[in-house]
Amino acid sequence: MKRIPLIVSAGTVMVTVGAVGLAIAGLAAPGPPETVLPEPGVVMVEGADHLPSETAADWVTYADHVVVVNAVAETAVPPTQIELDRGEGLIGRTVTLEIAEVLWSREGSLMEAPTTWEYTAIGAQFVEGDTSAPLEMALHERPRVEVGHTYVMAIRWEVERCEDGETEPAQWRGLGEGSEIPFDDATLGNGELEGEIQSAEQFAAAAAEETALGLEEQVAGQTADALVSELEAATPVAPEAQVGTLAATSGCG
């Protein structure tokens, strides 16, 4: 099993294969996780959450909306010329998500939920100069977010940020691993995860092996009503009391 170093910076996860990086929205971590390349060749990426996302309290504290989305189209993000010249690099994806339903909204949210969202999704790695048959990449315990599938997501609006002379535009972002749930056939936990299709029963069986169940495991196999009930019963916590790092909310002006 081949292990590849993973470099992480605030607000993004940078997957480095050789000297190549890929930014994935919605993730951040202070430590140096790693990627694992198992047979038959899917690159599994380990990362930490952008914001706390495991519990209902996390969702109601940090999310502006919880939405049902349909992945309807995707566009490849081509590698840079430097990557092409090097012969190895990453091919990204932008997935068009249509918001089918808003399940929950935080009181006081400044932005209404969008009707569509151009979601930055993990893509694929190419090596030896061959961009025709890249290796798919997947984040551990997260959907790849693939066309034809439905998901429940907790999303958050973040304003333009400036840090170290660089600007990050205002955008919708997810919270992290715990805030994206497969939702094919209107069943939580049913559908695409890590690029493979699984049933809600398989999702729940895998969750049973966990020492601490998160919100997505608690509602696996149920309808969206069960999730909404958990959110309505949850109490927000003070963000400064959380271990996770809040994204900056001040603009560049």
Please indicate, yes or no, if residue 100 is contained in any of the structural domains: yes
Strands (E), 145-237: 150-158, 161-163, 166-168, 171-174, 180-182, 191-193, 196-198
Give the separation between CA 49 and CA 216, rounded to whole angstroms. Answer: 15
- Residue 16: burial class (beta carbons within 10 Å; 0-12, 13-18, 19+): middle
Q: Is residue 240 part of a domain?
A: no
pLDDT value of position 36: 45
Residue 178 counted as domain residue:
yes
Q: Where residue 218 falls among pLDDT bands split at 50, 70, 90?
A: very high
Segment 133-143 mean pLDDT: 90
Number of independent structural domains in the chain: 1
Range of the domain at 126: 2-234
pLDDT of residue 252: 65
Q: What is the pTM of this model?
A: 0.80
Which of the residue ranges 9-23, 91-105, 227-241 would you say has the lowest mean pLDDT? 9-23
Question: Is 149:155 a contact under the CB 8 Å cutoff?
Answer: no
| pLDDT value at residue 118 | 96
Please indicate, yes or no, if residue 241 is contained in any of the structural domains.
Answer: no
pLDDT at 209 over 50: yes
- The answer to whether the CB of 117 falls within 8 A of the CB of 97 is yes
pLDDT digits (tens, 9 = 90+) for 63-103: 999 999 999 999 999 999 999 999 999 999 999 999 999 99
In a domain, 247, yes or no: no
